[in-house]
A and B are shown apart, each in its own frame.
Chain A
Amino acid sequence: MLRDYVHRLLRPGLLVILFIGVILLFFILIGKPPLQMFWSMLTYSMGDVFSLSETLAKTTPILFCALAVIVPARLGLISVGGEGQLYVGALTGTWAALQFPDAGLWILPVMLFAGAAGGAFWGGITGVLKAWAGVHETISTLLLNYVGILLVSHLVYGPWKDTANLGWPATRSFPVNAILPKFHATQIHLGLLIAMILAIVLHVLLNHSRWGLSLKILQRNPAVAALSGLNPIRQTILVMLVGGMLAGLGGISEVSAIQGRLQPTISSGYGLAGFLVAWLSAQQPMRALLIAFLFGALLAAADSLQMFAHVPAASAVVLQGLIFLTALIINQLPSQWRIPFWTK
């Protein structure tokens, strides 16, 4: 039992140390004082209320997208569709929000529901294709990402463009009641709370419920699953629906709370970040919570590179790429190379 807990704590701990190593090495390579730069990154991600708020604002969509990957992964499905589901959720949620400009506060749940439904629909397409036609879920989610993003572009450049913007591609701003409440004057919004609650709920459902168990059986032993009367088709569609729903919620909460209107770009690569978080957390929602925070901090801290080091914006992208790559490599290490407590 104790050993178990030590393992659980050490795994993310080691990841953090490794990431810090990569970051320090990066600064040495570009010829900047590593410790000083690292310190400024820390300050810029959690050094004051503003920075912490920015980190948490970035954590929110990343966490939603991570959860959207974790649920299908429990059935052995590799979904890379967080980004597309996020965009489609933002789209349908925006539709609901703009449909009722004079709505009362009841618009909030309606809008969130619409966003969740849109994301679920987008994920569901993959589920149905997989369950009934055997289309590989990684390919279909990947391609549907493009379709989802282009769909949003089509609407904001075309029929949904606000004429008051004089040709600028964006919808009308959300009515006041359709903006998710924020914590004091920060960027931390209701979406974070929803994402955290969902992470806890999923933790319980996936690890301690009949449903979680049946997913495990379906993934690991189809023969036993068939004998137990488990329905792989229904579960395939279900996990994709739930996954899409989660990313869709991430999309509409980001647009409502942070962007304030739908426009061509609403995500700073949250889908990809969420995917990596999911795999680093070994498909565990509670670990994803912590690792999503680290990735949120990394995105927020990138500002300090331009502010202090006066390095081009591209170096922030390079650094993020390095860290993502490190993260992937860790997951791909052959099991015999792994440090004993590294394994799942």
Chain B
Amino acid sequence: MIIRGILFQLTLITLSAISFSTPALAESKIGFIYVGPAADYGYNMSMDLGRKYLEKNGTGITTTMFETVPENAEVERVMERLINAGHNIVFATSYGYLDYALKVGEKNPKISILHAGGLKTSANVGTYWADSDDGMYLAGMVAGSVSKSGKLGFIGAFQIPQLLRSINAFTLGAQSVNPKATTTVIWTGGWWEPKKETEATNAFADQGIDVVAEQVDSPITIANTAEKRGIYMIGKDVNISDRAPKAWLTGVSWNWGPMMLKLVKEIEAGTWKPSHVFGNLADGSAVLDPFGKSVPKNVQKKVLGVKAKIIAGKKNIWTGPISAQDGTVIAASGVALTRDKIESTNFLIKGVIGSAH
């Protein structure tokens, strides 16, 4: 009797659960996970500006963010937390989250996860990224034109394809205006290493390197140090020209908002298919920042001319001749690199001083 009573109760509960679970209106709870502080004046801030854009311009969107989540199993827990609390879309915004995103995605097939960059996707995990190579090429042109010594510096976090590409594009741009230009690379081994970034910038200045570019999470440390040392800098991720008025040449920043909103709308409409989504200079997801005071007008004009050509599809920066550091030909004269080759870049080009491995 008791068992039957319990069964009856269970049936009732199941029935009521079914009747109440009719699909609600398109309403998304979106979780954002950052590897550093949201206010880092850099990469994480660029992602957070995207989040704010969603809240402002989307309808029925609520967001939650988790900051300083390391790129290890911790992020798995955070994603599960967001999902348990009813979030149906998760933006996992750091490179090292991908494997964990795939794992969590498999466990939670109804959730959509969007990961910033990377080379893998699954049934419900897609990537979004914007190609900043063109911007880095243009920034390289500026650096190569302004530099007196022809010696440029680059501070990078990890030896991953995204960064190797940036360094190559930057150097190609510099060499297009000064064939003798070299880029010296220092790896910091972390996205947020202010102490190492300061030391690297100082070391560059001591060696006679007069322009420093970077791809770490925040350009702020490098901006401050470059300003102090009287050398120039190229920004990345967000425009911080006001923080280093003398040192600032230009930078490449992100504008994730519109891309994020488009993806969210696709997910809500059920038309989203996980894939690698790429933005670029042309669609405005990657932005060439305003020039600093130290960039002569004729240089600005020249760079903007090349930018127009790139946007019009008349110039591909990855067109040969391109050779690797050891002289191996990567692309013969007039031949363009394939998308796959660019995505899996594991080499540095001739003129770069530093190790790709």
Contacts and interface: CB of A to CB of B under 8 A. Distances in A.
Contacts of A187: 77
Contacts of A209: none
Interface string A33-61: 00000000000100010100010000000
A306 B34 CA distance: 12
A310 B96 CA distance: 24
Nearest to B100: A260
A339 interface: no
A306 B189 contact: no
Interface in A258-287: 258-260, 263-266, 268
A300 B84 CA distance: 14
B38 interface: yes
B72 A266 contact: yes
Contact of B78 (A153, A167, A264, A303): A303
A309 to B, nearest CB: 11
Nearest to B39: A312
Interface string A161-184: 000001111000000000000000
Interface in B279-317: none
Given A167-B161, A303-B78, A312 B38 contact: yes
B53 interface: no
A313 B85 contact: no
A50 B80 CA distance: 9
Contacts of B81: 44, 303, 307
A44 B333 CA distance: 60
A157 B190 CA distance: 11
B37 interface: yes
B121 interface: no
Contacts of B85: 307
Given A166-B346, A167-B158, A303-B78, A310 B73 contact: no
Contacts of A54: 77
A29 interface: no
Contacts of A314: 37, 67-68
B70 interface: yes
A153 B95 CA distance: 18
A218 to B, nearest CB: 40
Contacts of A168: 95-96, 158, 160
A268 B65 CA distance: 20
B66 interface: yes
A306 B66 contact: yes
B346 A307 contact: no
Interface residues of B, number: 36
Given A50-B84, A166-B344, A168-B158, A153 B73 contact: no
Contacts of B68: 313-314
A310 B77 CA distance: 18
B160 A167 contact: yes
A166 B37 contact: no
A53 to B, nearest CB: 9
B14 interface: no
Contacts of A48: 84
Contacts of A268: 70, 74
Interface in B79-95: 80-82, 84-85, 95
A265 B37 CA distance: 18
B159 interface: yes
B119 interface: yes
Interface string A286-326: 00000000000000100100110010111000000000000
B339 interface: no
Contacts of A265: 70-72
Contacts of B77: 54, 187, 300, 303
Nearest to B64: A307
B195 interface: no
A51 B164 CA distance: 40
Nearest to B95: A168
20 contacts: A50-B80, A166-B119, A166-B161, A166-B344, A166-B346, A167-B158, A167-B356, A167-B357, A168-B95, A168-B96, A168-B158, A263-B72, A264-B189, A264-B190, A266-B72, A303-B66, A312-B38, A313-B66, A313-B68, A314-B68
Question: Which 8 A-B pairs have CB atoms at the shortest separation, nearest pair first?
Answer: A313-B67, A167-B159, A167-B160, A313-B68, A258-B73, A259-B73, A306-B66, A303-B81
Given A167-B357, A265-B71, A314-B68, 10 more contacts: A166-B119, A167-B163, A169-B158, A187-B77, A259-B73, A265-B70, A266-B72, A306-B65, A310-B65, A312-B37
